[in-house]
Amino acid sequence: MKPFFSRMFSSPVLGGLFILSLVFSSAKVFAQPEVINPYVMIQDAASATFGRMKNEKDLIAQDPEHLRTIMRENLLPYIDYRFSAFMVLGKNARNVPKPQLAEFVNVFKEYLVTTYANAMGYYDDQTVSFEPGGDYLGQKTITVRAIIQDDGRPDIKVAFKVRYDSRTNSWKGYDMVAEGISLLSSKRSEFETIIRQEGVEKVITLMQEKINEPIVLQNTNPAE
């Protein structure tokens, strides 16, 4: 199971938010006639996405690029990629010209799609079990905890970070912590060094290079 995570963290340009962030989902709350539990929404989103992966396994085996389509349709609408992009830039965002900042956000969005699609190449019917949800009303952020189970291998605990956006009245995902490592923090540390030495444009170039690479399946039995 370790490559399922370690490769995501160690690659100099892959990184980013991991595929299991796909369980993040938006949920309108507070002023709504019916309050929707974001914990339930997250689990529903996970079930739907993994279900699609299973149903379209043959298509994915024939054309791994189909994973990008799944990520755009099933995941991206529920990820606050703009917030994540600014979190990755950190204090450097203040020194980036607005046109270049907009370019960074747009490229980062596609970079996430590619990151998720590549990570999905490791998926091989692992089981994701969620811990019971807690109180979320009045909260700005919540943590959804889950356990990834794979026969014959140790369980892996993960934590999904979800934030409430009062402007859109919705919950959206922005980070995941796995094996004690925050993916946003990991990318921020990596990009900060590059920005300091070579500027934001270099980071944009590196992300674009990763986007341009073909998606490669990494599981052992993609067509089973």
Determine, yes or no, domain membership for 224. Answer: no
DSSP 220: S
- How would you list the strands of the sheet with 181-182, edge to edge? 127-130, 141-150, 153-165, 170-178, 181-182
pLDDT at 173: 87
Question: Would the pLDDT of 206 be above 70?
Answer: yes
pLDDT at 104: 97
Residue 54: CA atoms inside 13 Å, Cβ hemisphere, count?
A: 9
Which CATH number characterizes residue 97's domain? 3.10.450.710
Question: Would the pLDDT of 19 be above 70?
Answer: no
The length of the chain, given as a count of residues: 224
Determine, yes or no, domain membership for 220. Answer: no
What average pLDDT does this structure show over 179-190? 86
Determine, yes or no, domain membership for 51. Answer: yes
Q: What is the mean pLDDT of the chain?
A: 80
Question: Would the pLDDT of 199 be above 80?
Answer: yes
Determine, yes or no, domain membership for 219. Answer: no
Q: Are 23 and 161 in contact (CB under 8 A)?
A: no
pLDDT at 74: 85
Which domain does 105 fall in, by range? Answer: 2-25+33-212
Under the banding of pLDDT at 50, 70 and 90, the label for residue 28 is very low
- What is the value of pTM for the model shown? 0.78
Determine, yes or no, domain membership for 103. Answer: yes
pLDDT at 157: 84
pLDDT at 96: 93
pLDDT at 37: 77
pLDDT at 207: 96
Determine, yes or no, domain membership for 223. Answer: no
Q: Are 137 and 83 in contact (CB under 8 A)?
A: no
pLDDT at 219: 62
How far apart (Å, rounded) are the C-alpha atoms in residues 63 and 27?
A: 32
Determine, yes or no, domain membership for 221. Answer: no
pLDDT tens by residue, 56-69:
999 999 999 999 99
pLDDT at 50: 80
How far apart (Å, rounded) are the C-alpha atoms in residues 183 and 107?
A: 18
Q: Are 144 and 130 in contact (CB under 8 A)?
A: yes
The total number of structural domains that make up the chain: 1
pLDDT tens by residue, 92-140:
999 999 999 999 999 999 998 998 888 777 777 778 888 888 899 889 9
Percent of the chain scoring above 70 in pLDDT: 81
Question: Would the pLDDT of 11 be above 80?
Answer: no
DSSP-based three-state secondary structure for 160: strand
Determine, yes or no, domain membership for 55. Answer: yes
pLDDT at 21: 44
What average pLDDT does this structure show over 36-42? 78
